[in-house]
Amino acid sequence: ALGLLYDQDLEGERYVISAGGTREPIDPVRFLGNRSTGRFGVALALAAAHRGADVDLVACNVDAALLPHHPRITIHAAGTALELRERMLGLAPCAQVLIMTAAVADFRPATTTDSKVKKGGSVPDFELVENPDILKGLAADRSHGAFVVGFAAETGDEGGSVLDYGRAKARAKGADLLVVNRVGETAGFGDVDTAITILDSAGETRSDAAGTKSQMAGVVIDTISSARKGV
């Protein structure tokens, strides 16, 4: 019944959303990981579900307490980048929209040992290999037919502004939209905790907004809907 408080404009649509961060095993007890909590992906999943979409949320090491409970959201688990890619490729053919909010480890240990790495000998020298770029792959092979959205958390530096880096990444990825999280631009705005610029594959700005994560989730979904309608 609560769902009826929202416009059901996404009824009949399937969104596949990755969230959290991958963990790449070193040995049975250790991994290479990152600090991504999955909050934005969860906010997007809820925003889409409230508007009537069916959502597959591919959760990568998301704290159980953060996972949403909603009849339209199905939660799938993925641990590593390779597992996440399998999940995304498996779900993609049924989706109208694919959103990669997960922080994917760029590298993984080349080998994983079956027993715990012990100290006392020489300091281990881990060899790393690059993980596949899941977003780029989903954008390059369109046999799934879905609209593809990526995320990037960027900061500016002496080499360029947040937007310079965002535009370059948008063009390089080939996703239909890239949501650039302008990290560190909202300090002091209280509840306003996220500033985003949404770029298309040409690097042109489609939306620019700041607010709470759930407000920004709404902006992302509105921008996806407009872009899919060609406006």
Rounded to an integer, what distance in angstroms lies between the CA atom of residue 57 and that of residue 33?
Answer: 20
Rounded to an integer, what distance in angstroms lies between the CA atom of residue 64 and that of residue 68?
Answer: 9
Q: Assess 97 for contact with ligand CTP (CB under 6 A).
A: no
Q: Which residue has the tokens 């780029």?
A: 136
Find the binder of ligand CTP among 26, 41, 151, 217 (CB under 6 A).
151
Find the binder of ligand CTP among 47, 55, 58, 100 (CB under 6 A).
100
Tokens encoding 11: 């009824």
34 is catalytic: yes
Find the binder of ligand CTP among 104, 198, 216, 224 (CB under 6 A).
104
Work out whether strand 14-20 and strand 97-100 pair parallel, antiparallel, or are unpaired. Answer: parallel
Residue 17 is labelled as binding a ligand: no
Minimum CB distance to Ca ion, residue 127 (Å) = 19
User: Residues with Cβ < 8 Å from 1, sequence gap 6 or more?
Assistant: none
| Residue 109 site contact among Ca ion, ligand CTP, none (CB < 5 to 8 Å, cut-off depends on kind) | none
Q: What is the dihedral of CA 100, 106, 183, 35, to 10 degrees?
A: 90
**By CB under 6 A, what part of segment 27-86 binds ligand CTP?**
81
Task: Specify binding-site residues for CTP.
Answer: 106, 116, 132-135, 151, 169, 173
